[in-house]
Amino acid sequence: MRENNIKKTLLAARGLAKHFGGLAAIEDIHMEVEKGSMIGIIGPNGSGKTTLFNVMTGYLKATRGEVFYEGEKISGMRPFAIVNKGIARTFQVPQCCKQLTIRENIHLACIHRCPKNIIEEKTREFARIAKIESSLDTLATNVPIGYLRKTELAMALATNPQLILLDEPFSGLTDLECYELAAIIKGVREKITLVVIDHKLKHLMPIVEKVFVLNEGRLFFEGSPEEVARNPEIQRIYIGGEIK
């Protein structure tokens, strides 16, 4: 039973801490992400959500603790190497190459993964999944943020990941765009494990199975979206209202 559980765990954080001088951005985080699951991470601003992503993906070095991916220790690895292990991520501010077209951005992510003769085909495939096919030849600098978020997602998919960490994918989007992006995310979750940070609970809660709540750098609560919605303490302290 225990062995089965270990096998199912895709990403695990053990006692993870990150300090910036005297400030503990995250402290003693223990977290497990099971293969095939869809996890949400919520918490007020400054609770350490993005820092947690940055430490897990190698952009920041942990002060303490370790990160394991499929049982292999990945803490200390460089970000590109972690991507090549199978963990892709997106950022709060979309990180696309603004001087390149959407096509070139996705092409870039395909380079080390697809044979040359099928890169174009794959680029179109990921663009179709992300619903940005019509903008393939537009410069990334000329598209609205909704398209950039989709492009980033298409780039993440093109790295052939098992796990994608999405950092505030709904930030800056209109309700309509959020529903569209949520539908795309739901579409890709069939094959890929997803961890999503977001403040827009209206769009996050319906698509996740489990939620981790962070507060002041510590893991405050973990449970289903319904349990989070029912917990008055979380609502009162972190959300400031009722979750619908």
Q: Any contact of residue 212 with other proteins (CB under 8 A)?
A: no
Nearer to other proteins, 39 or 140 (CB): 140
Q: Is residue 143 part of the contact set for other proteins (CB under 8 A)?
A: no
Query: Where in 108-127 is the site for other proteins (CB under 8 A)?
Result: 108-109, 111-113, 116-117, 120
Contact predicate 34/10, CB 8 Å = yes
Closer of 59 and 221 to other proteins (Cβ): 59
In the block, which residue shows the tokens 């090549």? 84
Give the sign of the dihedral formed by CA 83, CA 88, CA 89, CA 94: positive
- Beta-carbon contacts of 128 under 8 Å, excluding residues fewer than 6 positions away, are none
Residue with smaller CB distance to other proteins, 7 or 98:
98
Shortest distance, position 227 Cβ to other proteins, whole Å: 33
Question: How many residues interact with other proteins (rule CB under 8 A)?
Answer: 32
What separation in angstroms does the CA of 179 have from each of 12, 26, 46, 151, 195? 30, 31, 26, 16, 18
Residue 186's region, left for phi above 0, alpha for psi from -120 to 50, else beta, is: alpha
Shortest Å distance, C-beta 81 to other proteins: 8
Taking CB under 8 A as the binding criterion, the range among 21-29, 84-92, 172-180, 189-197 that sits at the site for other proteins is 84-92
Q: Of 29-37, 45-53, 86-94, 226-234, which part binds other proteins (CB under 8 A)? A: 86-94
244 binds other proteins (CB under 8 A): no
Among 52, 50, 51, 62, smallest CA distance to 11 is for: 52
- Which is it for the CA torsion 61, 67, 68, 72, positive or negative? positive
CA distances from 168 to 2, 6, 70, 87 (A): 33, 29, 25, 17
Stretch 151-170 residues interacting with other proteins (CB under 8 A): 155-156, 158-159
Footprint on this chain of other proteins (rule: CB under 8 A): 78-81, 83-84, 88-91, 95-100, 103-105, 107-109, 111-113, 116-117, 120, 155-156, 158-159
